[in-house]
Amino acid sequence: RKEVEQDPGPFNVPEGATVAFNCTYSNSASQSFFWYRQDCRKEPKLLMSVYSSGNEDGRFTAQLNRASQYISLLIRDSKLSDSATYLCVVEGNYGQNFVFGPGTRLSVLP
Amino acid sequence: EAQVTQNPRYLITVTGKKLTVTCSQNMNHEYMSWYRQDPGLGLRQIYYSMNVEVTDKGDVPEGYKVSRKEKRNFPLILESPSPNQTSLYFCASSLSKVAGYEQYFGPGTRLTVT
């Protein structure tokens, strides 16, 4: 099993739609979880950290389920500008490294 | 402006010719890291550094070296590049490894080894 797996995608959704991405991880000792966004050929940028209690930032909501070892990202009212690849990032087995998932590509269509 | 810079941005080289990709950050960050990104494989961590003179291997360290003599700089060295090291490389830094600190990424270096 890979350390971090994500929905394969791509997701093609109309503007205004709600879309959810899932990510599973294998390291039960992981303490840090993040969602990053990457535009084509650009550097990844932090979208949000994921806390045990879940967190929300505007149209974006992240959830963590430690028992099932998955995190999720919900995007409401999708905008064209949300089109990007979304990367799930989890603390690695060494406790000081990070493991990125392969990413899920989202295309929001007019 | 807070940023991570990488040089060069693009590099085409030949097998076996030693090269260095520089990375510098101006945010006084303790943690720095190198990743490579390949189609279908995502971002994979090559090396990371918790602080000056402290470096550790990531998931794909073979064929690479790093050094951390100063807090702001973390160069990536390819002693004898091979074609399988053709990739997009990102340097990143964060305030510390403590949970919740985001990584800031440089703009990337696209390396082609022929």
Among residues A49, A23, A86, A24, the alpha carbon closest in space to that of B94 is found at A49
Enter the DSSP assignment of B51. Answer: E
CA–CA distances in Å: residue B85 to residues A44, A98, B26, B37, B107: 20, 20, 28, 10, 18
The beta-carbon neighbor of A43 closest among B56, B102, B107 is B107
Type of residue at A42: K
Instruction: Spell out which residues of chain A touch residue B10, defining contact as CB-CB under 8 Å.
Output: none
Mind listing the pLDDT tens digit of every residue in chain A (110 residues)?
678 999 988 999 999 999 999 999 998 888 889 999 999 989 999 999 898 888 999 999 999 999 999 999 999 999 999 999 999 999 887 777 889 999 999 999 99
Chain B residue numbers with beta carbons less than 8 Å from the beta carbon of A96 are 48, 50, 56, 97
Question: B90 and B105 in contact (C-beta within 8 Å)?
Answer: yes
Report pLDDT digits (tens) over B85-96.
999 999 999 987
Stated as kind and residue range, the H or E segment containing A47 is: strand A45-49
